[in-house]
């Protein structure tokens, strides 16, 4: 009797790692944008001083997206909404890229492109390849 080696499920593990990293980043950024004084943030990101309301709105989206990327799948409560959160985070990154290009700040967008690729990986992975089963 030969036993088959266990299949290592790389995709689900990679998705959990990427989701956790993205969640930490989005949640941290969201809290920062919502709590830090606009003048402090504007010292790093000049656009924040010009558009303080946009700063706070993107902070709320960052926070909500970060929570949605990890908490729903982790708890098993409506894990299908993780795909929606990933899509929302992708829309946020595309918006940031367009915003920065429109201001002549293309040099500020590589990070947004990386983030876009990672959230699209979660969107694809959780939506089509390795969904999380809902808690029963």
User: What pLDDT does residue 103 have?
Assistant: 96
Report yes or no: 69 and 125 within 8 Å, Cβ to Cβ. Answer: no
Q: Encoding tokens for residue 79?
A: 């894990």
Distance CA 98, CA 135 (A): 38
User: What pLDDT does residue 136 have?
Assistant: 76
pLDDT in tens, 101-112: 999 999 999 999
Domain range for 62: 10-129
What is the number of structural domains in the chain?
A: 1
In a domain, 5, yes or no: no
The CB-side HSE value for 96 (13 A sphere, CA atoms) comes to: 24
pLDDT 10s per residue in the chain (136 long)? 555 555 568 999 999 999 999 999 999 999 999 999 999 999 999 999 999 999 999 999 999 999 999 999 999 999 999 999 999 999 999 999 999 999 999 999 999 999 999 999 999 999 998 889 998 7
pLDDT in tens, 75-100: 999 999 999 999 999 999 999 999 99
In a domain, 4, yes or no: no
In a domain, 97, yes or no: yes
In a domain, 99, yes or no: yes
In a domain, 23, yes or no: yes
């Amino acid at each position: 009797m030969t036993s088959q080696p266990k299949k290592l499920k790389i995709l689900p593990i990679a998705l959990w790692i990427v989701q956790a990293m993205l969640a930490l980043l989005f949640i941290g950024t969201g809290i920062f944008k919502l709590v830090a004084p606009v003048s402090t943030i504007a010292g790093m990101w000049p656009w924040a001083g010009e558009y303080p309301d946009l700063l706070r709105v993107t902070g709320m989206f960052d926070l909500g997206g970060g929570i949605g990327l990890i908490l729903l799948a982790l708890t098993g409560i409506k894990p299908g909404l993780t795909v929606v959160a990933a899509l929302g985070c992708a829309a946020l990154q595309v918006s940031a890229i367009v915003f920065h290009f429109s201001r002549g700040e293309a040099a500020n967008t590589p990070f947004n492109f990386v983030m876009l690729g990672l959230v699209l990986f979660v969107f694809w992975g959780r939506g089509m390849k390795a969904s999380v089963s809902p808690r029963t």
